[in-house]
Amino acid sequence: MGACGATARFRIYRETPDGERHVGLIARRGSAWHVRHQLALPTRGHGLLARPGGELLAVARRPGDWLLRWQPATGATQWQWNEPDRAFNGHVVASADGRRLYTTETDLETGAGLVGVRDAASLEKTAEWRTGGMDPHELLLDADGTLLVANGGIPTLPESGRVKVGLDRMDASLVRMATTDGARQSQWRLPDPRLSLRHLAWSADAGERVLGIALQAEHDDAAARNAAPVLALLRGDRLELAPAPRPLAGYGGAIAAAGGRFAVSCPRAGGVAVWDAQGRWAQFAPLAEACALASSASPGIWAGGRDGLQSLAAGDSRQQPLPPGLRLDNHWVTVSSPA
């Protein structure tokens, strides 16, 4: 690594051909990227949260049973396993004061969506709140201290794992919840019930705070699914779709925001779609199997795909190769790491 404050990236990735899963830190040395730290995982991971002091929280992919605290610099780990009748849904966020963690979960007996409230030091659950829907996925804090949760709305059964059942009963929604007691304050739905709300990112444009939501289409008809939108915006109290001039295969893998722009990775369309914060189309950046997105001070947004990394800065279309043998997974986050 270079000097203190050099940019590095925490990343969940798979490094071995036999499918072994890791969480890792990759960093740039000169013009090349290398794996600086790594830790094997019991199952595939999904969402990440960078915390003060250099620690990282990672959550199992849904339906998952583990939450991990990891200190890459020292190798220290702390594992928290969920109750047998609960499953993690892949994402975690911290409270404004950092003393609590919120995790999206599912009650495996009823299918009800939950937010697990956990002590940030022990990782143990202290309460749980119903989200008013099924399949909650990513969640974010708002500036007013409330919690916004994306209910993916896809029914599943305990015995079926990730197999989707009863898509005609889909009920995706975005909910606003109080962080004092979990009370639901607002709930929004899109007109198309087959659009699953998955990932969230905040952007500010001309002082307006806008929430971007990456969508995944679950239509039975392949043509309808291919043409489906992949971005919705919550502006004030209105949830609306952002149009695109080209088909994006109806699958938004991740979302990031920087510089008044939203980027949604579209691995099935082979690139990253970009809009401004008002939902106006900006560009499509080709990148094979693009999924992982992260915001940074410079170049703004980094995208990761099958063959490399790419800056989404204007005029920069160069791809940087990955370390040999490394394959990126769904998400990553950008952090500053000391030398």
Count Cα atoms within 13 angstroms, Cβ side, for 13: 27
- Residue 33: its pLDDT value, please? 85
List the structure tokens of 119: 């002590």
* Exposed e or buried b per residue across 139-162, where buried means at least 16 C-beta atoms within 10 angstroms of its C-beta: bbbeeeebbbbbbbbbbbeeeeee
Short-list 153, 162, 166, 235, CA closest to 192? 153
> Predicted confidence band at 324 (pLDDT cuts at 50, 70, 90)?
confident
Q: What is the pLDDT of residues 284-315, one digit of tens each?
A: 999 999 999 998 776 688 899 987 888 887 66
- Separation between Cα atoms, residue 78 and residue 293, nearest integer Å: 26
- Residue 4: its pLDDT value, please? 31
- Separation between Cα atoms, residue 73 and residue 68, nearest integer Å: 15
- Residue 121: its pLDDT value, please? 97
Write the DSSP assignment of 46-76 as a string of letters.
Answer: EEEEE-GGG-EEEEEPSSB-EEEEEETTTTE
Rounded mean pLDDT of 125-146?
97
CB count, 10 Å around CB of 259? 16
> Predicted confidence band at 320 (pLDDT cuts at 50, 70, 90)?
confident
List the structure tokens of 190: 């899109």
- Separation between Cα atoms, residue 306 and residue 318, nearest integer Å: 14
- Separation between Cα atoms, residue 56 and residue 48, nearest integer Å: 7
Collapsing DSSP to helix, strand or coil, 322 comes out as coil
Query: Cα torsion at 239, 242, 248, 250 (round to 10°)?
Result: 20
Residue 20: pLDDT above 50? Answer: yes
Collapsing DSSP to helix, strand or coil, 169 comes out as helix
Q: What is the pLDDT of residues 29-81, one digit of tens each?
A: 877 888 999 999 999 999 999 998 889 999 999 999 999 999 999 999 999 99
- Residue 276: its pLDDT value, please? 93
> Predicted confidence band at 143 (pLDDT cuts at 50, 70, 90)?
very high
- Residue 1: its pLDDT value, please? 22
Q: What is the pLDDT of residues 211-250, one digit of tens each?
A: 999 999 999 999 999 999 999 999 999 999 999 999 999 9
- Separation between Cα atoms, residue 115 and residue 128, nearest integer Å: 5
Residue 86: pLDDT above 70? Answer: yes
Residue 2: pLDDT above 60? Answer: no
What's the Cα-to-Cα distance from 334 to each of 27, 172, 187, 194, 297, rounded to whole Å?
10, 29, 31, 32, 9
Q: Name the range with the highest mean pLDDT among 6-20, 174-188, 297-311.
A: 174-188
List the structure tokens of 23: 């969480």
What's the Cα-to-Cα distance from 146 to each of 106, 120, 149, rounded to whole Å?
21, 18, 10
Mean pLDDT of the chain: 89
- Residue 158: its pLDDT value, please? 61
CB 244 within 8 A of CB 260: no
Say which residue, 309 or 137, is predicted with more confidence. Answer: 137
- Separation between Cα atoms, residue 140 and residue 148, nearest integer Å: 5
Short-list 6, 8, 13, 7, CA closest to 292? 13
**Percent above pLDDT 70 for the chain:** 89
- Residue 311: its pLDDT value, please? 84
DSSP 167: G
Collapsing DSSP to helix, strand or coil, 223 comes out as helix
- Separation between Cα atoms, residue 45 and residue 329, nearest integer Å: 9
Residue 12: pLDDT above 80? Answer: no
- Residue 306: its pLDDT value, please? 84
CB 309 within 8 A of CB 319: yes
Least confident of 90-99, 155-164, 255-264: 155-164
- Residue 177: its pLDDT value, please? 98
